Amino acid sequence: MNFITALLSQLNYGTIFLLMLLESTVIPVPSELVVAPAAYHAAGGNLNMWLVILFATLGADCGATINYLAGWYLGRPIIYKFANSKWGHMCLLNQEKVEKSEKYFDDHGLVATITGRLLPGIRHLISIPAGLAKMNYWKFLLYTTIGAGAWHSILALMGHYLHTFVPEDQLHDKIMEYGEYIKIGLILLVILAGTYFGIRWYIKKKGNSK
């Protein structure tokens, strides 16, 4: 973790890419504390906000690909074994979390690869059930890019906004505070979208059965 702390204190495009790669595997790196501070500094002229989003999303794509390949080639027994191991617990993993991501994927289909990137607790694991399900890789990559890009854009906008009134020594606390509001909003949005499409599917199915 000292390695990650050192990277967080030296944010540049390379460290943003690496940290988001790690965050999209099984290593607990909070994306809020990477992308939002980077965008905060971009607002001050030290980085480019569009490049922050780009490198964060590329890193997420690479990390998600690692999880996808692990699911595809290792299979469920080995994934569960790792999740229940000492190393898995060090990464804040357990079998219940993996099963939760699998259930979300099964319930929501391929679109879960997009919406799952927006949800806490599922974001970094949703690629595993995509691999287990043998989802087409290019479709998986496209959906992951859309979901990760949307999430990083939200974080970047938050960091840019906080730059207008938050001193740097208070940035961490404000990111965590506003991050909670964003998470709640996104969860509600995903629930509403799921309900809407579920109702549309039910109405269409009922109409076809007549």
With 0-12 CB in 10 A as exposed, 13-18 as middle and 19+ as buried, what is 138?
Answer: exposed
- Please, which pLDDT band fits residue 2 given cuts at 50, 70 and 90? low
Percent of all residues in the chain with a pLDDT value above 70, rounded to a whole number:
92
pLDDT for position 165 = 92
Contact predicate 158/124, CB 8 Å: no
Model confidence over 65-93: pLDDT tens digits?
999 999 999 988 888 888 888 888 777 78
**3 pLDDT above the threshold of 90:** no
* Domain encompassing residue 80: 2-208
With residue 205 as reference, give the H or E element that holds it: helix 171-208
How confident is the prediction for the chain on average, in pLDDT? 86
Kindly state the average pLDDT of the residues 100-115.
79
pLDDT for position 209 = 64
Q: How many CA atoms lie within 13 A of 54 on its CB side?
A: 7
Q: Count of domains in the chain?
A: 1
pLDDT for position 43 = 92
Contact predicate 38/51, CB 8 Å: no
Helices (H) and strands (E) in the chain, counts: 10, 0
**30 pLDDT above the threshold of 70:** yes
Rounded to two decimals, the pTM is 0.83
Which of 117, 68, 121 shows the shortest CA–CA distance to 94? 121
Percent of all residues in the chain with a pLDDT value above 90, rounded to a whole number:
39
**148 pLDDT above the threshold of 90:** yes
pLDDT for position 1 = 52
d(CA 24, CA 144) in angstroms, rounded, equals 10
Contact predicate 156/52, CB 8 Å: yes
d(CA 15, CA 20) in angstroms, rounded, equals 8
